[in-house]
Amino acid sequence: MNSKQRFRARIILGGIIVAAFGLGVTLYNLQITRGSEYVAKVEKQVKLPLNFFDRGSIMFTAKDGTHSSAATLSSNYLVYVNPKLIKDAQGTYQALSQYIKIDREQFLRKSALLNDPYEELAKKIDASVAQQVSSLSLNGIGVVKETIRLYPGANLAAHVLGIVGESDGTIEGRYGLERTYENILSRPYVSSSANIFAQLFTNTRNSILSADFVRGDIVTTIEPTVQGYLEKVLDETNDQWKPDEIGGIIMDPKTGNIFAMASLPDFDPNDISKIKNIGILSNPLVEYAYEMGSIMKPLTVAIGFDSGALTPTWTYDDTGKMTLSGKNISNFDGKARGPTTSIQEILSQSLNVGSATVALEVGKQAFVRYFTALGFGSKTGVDQPNETVGLVANLKTGRDIEIATMAYGQGIALSPMAMTRALAVLANNGKIVKPRLVQEIDYVDGTKKIITPDVGVQVLKPETVETVTRMLVKVVDEALRKGALRVEHYTVAAKTGTAQIADSTTKGYYQDRYLHSFFGYFPAYEPKFIVFLYQKYPKGAQYASETLAEPFGELTKFLIDYYNVPPDR
């Protein structure tokens, strides 16, 4: 290369450097110095909905360990109108109404909003209809592809999963696992259909790879077939007894893994537009508290044994009634059982006076310590939002009357989840575990976090729960529905509960409204499952043995068959 060529090369290179520098200055000026200004202009010019977003998936886990989708993303189309561009509202409506269902008056009203460049007309339009609408080339009518949160199972496990909603330009979890695991399921940035340049300017000021968040998918303990069967049984029971509310939990008492959790009335998270009462979105199994009634008695008896206040041969004089602090306590039928009533009869005949007597034998301070150790008055830690601690003020009064009534499940209100956790102690050698709905997190970087089950805290001695379990097996084999729930070749431990519902107006109790509950675990001496059922104010029956015994029996037989549980007797 001669001197002239070298000179030209230097000139060209210098020009390139100057040009690059100028471009860099321009980009810096656009993106950094005046970035917020241009973002503001974009946002003023275009105000379309949040049409594209990313979010992690929620998975069910089948009994063989395979995963299936509980919540994922899907795409469809949205039709909107820009009123400023509409020339013939009547004609446009006639053309559109051939392909999408839209109210005429509503369309005309939206088309007249000249100061609003965007009004939605129809959502969740499939691709073929969207293509037909687009082919009309109607002035002021637009079709936008959008991302939606899809729940393939519709109502399946709706309360557990929850929903998502838009807030301040982002999609976020509302209720259920969607909310609890928002930091895992959400993604740092939601892409609006507004303008790609808006994303460009925004992303220069923030890091997509923010270290503050670790994103991924979550894998639940919910077994979809078991969940579906529980919901089927609840539906059938609901149809028969017409309760105000009904629900159930199926859990492994040793690990806290929840196989199924459901409540009625429920909803389809794919379409919440039909929901008239937003309260239906809350999970009553976790967020609401109830006086549970006689299913508390096995725990009271267990406390009696564990504290040393009772021996297997202990008896008491059941007079049918007793008075404490000026208030009366009576058996459900008001009848006395006599001076040598056994502990077994407290459970087999569900005797309130017997339970109260046991609690007083244990002593107030010791009884409260046991109830506290069983988790009453604290959250279970289950991965659902807005968990209640219940209404447990009577644990602190120190009066005999409150201790006595709590012993048979009155004067203390607990969530179904809290009650299930406490009762599971009887099925887990006396240990209390943390219930859970998520067992694995699959991160976006390909790594996984396996969430190990809670090892549990010893609350009752193993020999205590073995003794109570034998008594509950006898309840099922002989007393409950006269042995109708006895399962051949399998031991089942169970107890019913019937509690009067509190009347907030009179501060007393309704005389004709009851909360029915039922729990059981099996095989009784090496339990695989604990099942809890309840219904609030069923119509036409007073006792839980009338309304929940058969649903429990149906679930028991299903679980034994589905999991091929080996017989234990």
H or E element, residue 236: helix 224-241
d(CA 134, CA 132): 5
User: pLDDT at position 207, please?
Assistant: 39
- Segment 407-413 shows an average pLDDT of 96
- Segment 141-147 shows an average pLDDT of 89
Q: What percent of the chain has pLDDT over 70?
A: 87
d(CA 291, CA 426): 20
CB within 8 A of 178, min separation 6: which ones? 58, 71, 161, 162, 163, 164, 185
d(CA 332, CA 171): 52
- Site of tokens 């009518």: 141
Q: Virtual CA dihedral for 109, 112, 114, 115, nearest 10 degrees? A: -30
The pLDDT tens digits of the residues spanning 357-393 come to: 999 999 999 999 999 999 999 999 999 999 999 999 9
Q: What is the biggest distance separating any 2 CA atoms in the chain, rounded to whole angstroms? A: 124
Q: Is the pLDDT of residue 343 over 70?
A: yes
User: pLDDT at position 27, please?
Assistant: 41
User: pLDDT at position 8, please?
Assistant: 52
Confidence of residue 461 (pLDDT cuts 50, 70, 90): very high
User: pLDDT at position 288, please?
Assistant: 98
d(CA 137, CA 369): 74
Q: Is the pLDDT of residue 350 over 50?
A: yes
Confidence of residue 52 (pLDDT cuts 50, 70, 90): confident
Cα 252 to chain centroid, rounded: 17
Q: Is the pLDDT of residue 419 over 60?
A: yes
Phi, psi of 337 (to 5 degrees): -105, -5
User: pLDDT at position 352, please?
Assistant: 97
Q: Which residues, in sequence order, are bridge partners of residue 118?
A: none
Strands (E), 48-200: 58-61, 67-81, 119-125, 141-150, 163-167, 170-174
- Segment 314-328 shows an average pLDDT of 94
More confident residue, 256 or 40: 256
The pLDDT tens digits of the residues spanning 523-565 come to: 999 999 999 999 999 999 999 999 999 999 999 999 999 999 9
- Segment 107-115 shows an average pLDDT of 88
Q: Is the pLDDT of residue 24 over 90?
A: no
Closest alpha carbon to 559 in 472, 508, 490: 490
First and final CA of the chain: distance in angstroms? 99
Q: Is the peptide bond before 523 cis (omega within 30 degrees of 0)?
A: yes
Phi, psi of 290 (to 5 degrees): -140, 150
> Residue 226 carries which side chain, given as an amino acid letter?
V
Cα 74 to chain centroid, rounded: 23
Confidence of residue 1 (pLDDT cuts 50, 70, 90): low
Region of 374 (left: φ > 0; alpha: ψ -120 to 50; beta: rest) is alpha
How many CB atoms are closer than 10 A to CB 328? 10
Phi, psi of 222 (to 5 degrees): -65, 125
In this structure, is the dihedral angle defined by the CA atoms of residues 194, 196, 198 and 199, taken in order, positive or negative?
A: positive
More confident residue, 200 or 336: 336
> How, if at all, do strands 58-61 and 216-220 pair?
parallel
- Site of tokens 């009338």: 546
User: pLDDT at position 51, please?
Assistant: 62
Q: Is 528 exposed, middle or buried (0-12, 13-18, 19+ CB in 10 A)?
A: middle
Q: Is the pLDDT of residue 31 over 50?
A: no
User: pLDDT at position 38, please?
Assistant: 38
d(CA 42, CA 35): 11
d(CA 230, CA 521): 15
Is 515:292 a contact under the CB 8 Å cutoff?
yes
User: pLDDT at position 361, please?
Assistant: 97
d(CA 468, CA 462): 10
- Segment 500-526 shows an average pLDDT of 93
What the block records as the tokens of 143 is 């079709």
Region of 456 (left: φ > 0; alpha: ψ -120 to 50; beta: rest) is left
> How, if at all, do strands 508-522 and 529-536 pair?
antiparallel
Mean pLDDT for all residues in the chain: 88
CA angle 470, 303, 452 (to 5 degrees): 80
Closest alpha carbon to 351 in 439, 449, 479, 248: 479
Q: What percent of the chain has pLDDT over 90?
A: 72
Q: Is the pLDDT of residue 278 over 60?
A: yes
- The CB-side HSE value for 512 (13 A sphere, CA atoms) comes to 2
Confidence of residue 46 (pLDDT cuts 50, 70, 90): very low
Q: Virtual CA dihedral for 37, 39, 40, 45, nearest 10 degrees? A: 130
Calculate Rg over the CA atoms of the chain: 31
Confidence of residue 213 (pLDDT cuts 50, 70, 90): low
User: pLDDT at position 69, please?
Assistant: 98
Q: Is the pLDDT of residue 6 over 80?
A: no
d(CA 399, CA 380): 27
Question: What is the crossing angle of helices 364-373 and 297-307, to 10°?
Answer: 120
Q: Which of 164-168, 338-342, 532-536, 549-553 has the lowest mean pLDDT?
A: 164-168
